[in-house]
Amino acid sequence: MSRRSADVAKRDAGYHAADMVKDGMIVGLGTGSTAYHAMVRLSARVREEEISVAGVPTSHQTAMRARELGIPLTTLDEHPGLDLAIDGADQVDPSLRLVKGRGAALTREKVVACAAGRLVIVADPGKVVQALSGVVPVEVIPFAATPIMQTLSRMGGAPRVREGKAKDGPVITDNGNFLIDCDFDVIPDPEGLEATLTAIPGVVECGLFCRYTGKTTLVVGEEGGCRVIEGKRA
């Protein structure tokens, strides 16, 4: 898929998801380029007074973009339960399990996904995979980074601290932590790996999202329209 078609697919998926939002909803706002398209469409609907909504952003970037777009913001303190969250993903498998965290926002994204009644994942077809594999981002408190790296190496994860692109040294997440990108190659048991990773002392969260499949709707932008897949409730 060309870069342009992927961008069009992201836009179509984002717009489709934004059109699922109803008047009065409290909406989780994901991070990344596909979630941004949803925000653009949401903002147009708010501006045209078609709906009134408030959003909980999953990152500083999303909060800044929402302010620019005129989407009213709120917090989980005000609204611990969200009607719906719209977010992107790096990979999604046939059971709607996800890998997230390219944008380093995985912890807030998971908190928001957990708080939401419905999780709408927006993606281009390149994100849809038969089996999750490769890099799983792991957010860790800096104090514990070295022992966690050792543990991840013993697990066969080929860990690397994520480095900044326009900053020397490690990426610091919105929560003040480090990110370890851990390449597991194949991931035969995503639920087991998520449980193991999040049980390591000092790990804040990992980028595997296996627990929300039952409330997930996947929207994939495709030529001729969006493909919508509903997760199976347990």
Residue list 157-186, contact with ligand 5RP (CB under 6 A): none
The C-alpha atoms of residue 34 and residue 32 are separated, in whole angstroms, by 6
CB contact at 8 A, 197 and 136: yes
Is residue 207 within 8 Å of 190, Cβ to Cβ?
A: no
Residue whose CB is less far from ligand 5RP, 30 or 146: 30
Q: Does 30 participate in binding ligand 5RP (rule CB under 6 A)?
A: yes
Q: Is 230 a catalytic residue?
A: no
- In whole angstroms, what is the distance from residue 7 CA to residue 204 CA? 32
- Specify whether the backbone of 55 is left (phi greater than 0), alpha (psi in -120 to 50) or beta: beta
**Minimum distance of ligand 5RP from residue 184's CB (angstroms):** 17
Q: Which stretch binds ligand 5RP (CB under 6 A): 19-27, 98-106, 148-156, 210-218?
A: 98-106
Quote the Cα angle for 11-137-185, to 5°.
100
- Which one of the listed residues 49, 109, 163, 205 is annotated catalytic? 109
Of 88, 157, 202, 231, the one binding ligand 5RP (CB under 6 A) is: 88
Tell me which residues are annotated as active site: 109
Residues that bind ligand 5RP in the complex, under the rule CB under 6 A: 30-35, 87-90, 100-106, 109
